[in-house]
Amino acid sequence: MEGGLVVKGRVEIDTRQPFKSVKEAVLLFGEKVLATEVYAHKLKEIGSIERENNQHEKPKPIVLEEKKQTLERSNDEAKLMAYYLMSLKEQLEETKSELNRLKTTRGPCPSHYTTIDPEIEEIKFMENPKSAQVKLPKEARDEPADDNLFDRKQDKSNKFQAPPPPTKVIVEVPKMHETSPPSSKIKKAKKKTLFPSLSGIFSKTKGGTKATHRTDNLTSADLNQMTTGGQTDGEDKVSLELTEEIIQSMEVGMAFRDYSGRISSMDFHRTSSYLVTASDDESIRLYDVANASCLKTINSKKYGVDLVTFTSHPTTVIYSSKNGWDESLRLLSLHDNKYLRYFKGHHDRVVSLSLCARTDHFISGSLDRTVLLWDQRADKCQGLLRVQGRPATAYDDQGLVFAVAFGGSIRMFDSRNYEKGPFEIFSVGGDDSDANVVKFSNDGRSMLLTTTNGHVHVLDSFRGTHLWTQNVKPVSSNSTLEASFSPEGMFVISGSGDGSIYVWSIRSGKEVASWLSNENEPPVIKWAPGSLMFVTGSSELSFWIPDLSKLAAYVGRK
C-alpha cells in the first residue's frame, strides 16, 4: 500500500475519501446538484396545485360540447314551434266559415281560461322516484292548488327534460290535433274505403268457437263484395260509404256466445284485423276478425281482468286487474302468455286506460283520483296528476294532445310539455257528474264525453265549442257508459243504461238509428277501424254489419 492506494494486479481501487469535508462537496457541486433538486421540488408543488384545481373544473371540450347540444335542442324546438304555428294558421283559414256558422247558431265560443284551475288538487315535479306521494311545503299548502306543474318521476328511460321551477303562469299551447313535426317519420295514411273486414265470417264456424250466423238473407256474392270489396266474375265492384241509410240497415251478422260473464272491455288493433276482449269470467280472448275465429283464450284467475287495450304490437296488450287488492297494470304477451312488465302506482280500481298511437306512452285513470302517465319501457310512472273525481283519459289520433276529463270539464294537455299544465279547459255545460269516457274522432276535429247520469256530450276539439248533448238512461257507479266515433267522424254510437244502442249525426245531433234492449247494463261498443261494422259486448260478442237486402241503391243495382 502506497499513500492509501492499493495496487493488486491491474485493478486499482481508490480508497481515499472523496472529500475532506461537506463544505468541500458543497463548494464543488452545490450550485448544480442542490439547485436542481430545489427546482424539481418546486415544480412538483406547482403540478400538484394545478391537478387539484383541475379536479373542480370540467375540461373545456366537455363544456363546449354541452353548450353545443343545448343550442341544438333550442334550435330544434324553435323550428317545431314555428311549424306548428304555421299549421295552426292554415287550419284556422280552412275552418273559418264553419266557425262563423257555429257562432251564429250556438252563440260565442267560451272564453279562454286565464286563472289557475282550483279543482286540480296537486301537480308537482317528483324528486324521489321511489315514492308516488308528494308533500307540499308549508307556504305552498296555504295557497290555492297550482295547475302549472305535473308530477314527473325521474327515471333512466325518461326522455323529458326537467320542468321549469314552480310558477303560476298558464302557458298557451296551440292545439295540434292534425299536424306533425317536419322531422316526423309518420306518413299520412291513405283514406280507406269503409268495408267491413269480415271475409269468411259467415261462411264457416271455426272449431271450438260457438258462433251464431244471422245473414241467411244475403247471397255469397253480396257478402264477398261487402267484406272484401273485391270484384266478382261478371260484376262491377260495389263501393259502400257510411251513410244514414246504411246505419239504419245494420243488424247482427254474427255473435260469439261462449262467455260465462259480461264483457267489460274490448279493443281493435290499429293496423291488423285483431280484436281483444276482457270479460268478468276472468278471460282475455284474441279474435281474428277477418277469419271469424277466436285465436286464443288466456285466463287471469289470480288478478281478474277489467280494461284491456292493444299496444303497437298485435299480440301484446296492457290490462288492468279486477280482484280488489292488486290494482297494478300488466303488459302481457298473448303469444306465449308471459308478463313483460308490471306498472304499479294505483291504489283503487282503474277506470280509464288510453295508449298513445305514435309513442310508447299511455295514461291510466283510477278511482283513487289519480291520473298516471306511463312509458311502456319503464315500470315507474313518468307523471302523476291528482284530480277531484272519477277521471276519464284519451290521446288524440296523432299522439300530440291528451285529454283528462273530470268534474264537468275537459282539460287538454300537450303530450310533450304536460308538466306545464293544461293549455285549454273545456266546459260541458254544468254536467258535473262522474266522467265515464272521453274520446277524439279520427280526424281530431271532434271529441265526446259520456257521464254516469246518461249524458253524451259532443264538442269541437279545437275551440271547445259545445255542439250538442243527448240523453240516455243513466248507468250505475260501477258501470261505464261507452260511446264511439265512426271511422270518418260523421256519427257517434253509444250504449245506454238499459242496454239499448243509439246513433247520432255529428253535424245535426239528430238520432239516426236505435236498437232497443231490456238489459240492465250498458254494452261495450266500438266501431271497427276503416270498416262498415261495429261490435258490441255484453253477455255475448256481436258483430253488426249492413243488411244489403235493405239498401235500395244496392238492390236496384242487382
Instruction: Classify residue 439: in a domain, yes or no.
Output: no
Q: What secondary structure does DSSP assign to 488-526, as a single string?
A: TSSEEEE--TTS-EEEEETTT--EEEEE----SSPPEEE
> Is the separation of the CB atoms in 262 and 276 below 8 Å?
no
Instruction: Classify residue 173: in a domain, yes or no.
Output: yes
pTM, 2 dp: 0.63
Instruction: Classify residue 60: in a domain, yes or no.
Output: no
Residue 470's nearest CA partner among 426, 504, 507, 518 is 504
189 alpha carbon, distance to own chain's centre: 20
Query: What is the predicted pLDDT for the residue at 335?
Result: 92
Instruction: Classify residue 135: in a domain, yes or no.
Output: yes
Query: What is the predicted pLDDT for the residue at 363?
Result: 97
- In the structure grid, which three cell numbers stand for residue 374, read together? 306511463
Instruction: Classify residue 156: in a domain, yes or no.
Output: yes
Distance between CA 386 and CA 346 in Å, rounded? 12
Query: What is the predicted pLDDT for the residue at 218?
Result: 43
Residues of the chain where predicted confidence (pLDDT) is lower than 50: 106-116, 118, 121-122, 124-149, 151-209, 215-238
Instruction: Classify residue 481: in a domain, yes or no.
Output: no
Which residues have CB under 8 Å from 325's CB, separation 6+? none
Instruction: Classify residue 250: in a domain, yes or no.
Output: no
Provide the Cα torsion 246, 251, 254, 256; round to 10°: 120
- Containing structural domain, residue 363: 101-178+345-427
377 alpha carbon, distance to own chain's centre: 13
* pLDDT tens-digit series, residues 174-198: 333 333 344 433 333 444 444 444 4
- Label the pairing between strands 483-485 and 283-288: unpaired
Instruction: Classify residue 118: in a domain, yes or no.
Output: yes
- List, in sequence order, every residue forming a beta bridge with 468; answer none if it has no partner: 458
Q: 493: how many CB neighbours lie within 10 A of its CB? A: 24
What is the side-by-side strand order in the sheet with 392-395? 392-395, 401-406, 409-414, 424-427
In terms of residues, how long is the chain? 558
Query: What is the predicted pLDDT for the residue at 239?
Result: 56
What is the total count of domains within the chain? 1
Query: What is the predicted pLDDT for the residue at 101?
Result: 65
Which residues have CB under 8 Å from 488's CB, separation 6+? 194, 242, 442, 443
